[in-house]
Amino acid sequence: MFWDINIFKDKKDILPKKEEIFIVSDFDDTIFSTQEIIKKDVRKWRRWNEWNKYIEEVLWIENFVKDYYEKKEFPNHVIKRFEKENTLILTAWFDNLQKAKIEAVWLHHFPVKVVYESKEKPFEMVKYIVEKLKFIPKEIHIFEDRPEHFIETKAELEDFLNTKIKIFLVEMKDNFSEPTIKELD
């Protein structure tokens, strides 16, 4: 695991267990397909240096989100499972960009946590459960297009939280077709 979840042991041990399902979902290529962006290769002109930081954070994000996310339709096969109180959109990359994209598609009323790297997601999920959700759900359903970090830590997470975790692989072709959602063993 990226960080040691045992730092939450004392807080976790006093949490009540509830007969509820907690949903954790990635955003890119799980809720909203990035295939249109990849096909147009809109990121090829960007250079990752300090000179472009202002453009990236201020100008580029606004234009990028407007062009590719605002007023765009996308399948609801994952989000129809969401409940505001028991859902976390847990996504990786740059905080400002991810939150702007989620707001543009009107999902900002759900809790959102952005991590820099995907390997941080299992730890941040436990942290969210302990510090924000404040109960241990009977099950956790994780929707991911790249679930490897949850697969690697599933047994440890289930043991630590004393709960069942179901991991669902989501494969999206675009924002018009129904995604394939497959439960992994």
Tens of pLDDT, residues 4-41: 999 999 999 999 999 999 999 999 999 999 888 777 75
pLDDT at 51 over 50: no
Cα torsion angle, 92, 93, 99, 105, sign: negative
The bridge status of strand 112-115 relative to strand 17-25 is: unpaired
Question: What's the rounded Cα separation, in Å, for the pair 89 and 24?
Answer: 6
Q: Sorting pLDDT into bands at 50, 70 and 90, what band is 53?
A: low
Look up the pTM and report it.
0.90
Please compute the mean of the pLDDT values over residues 96-107 and round it to a whole number: 93
The bridge status of strand 164-171 relative to strand 17-25 is: unpaired
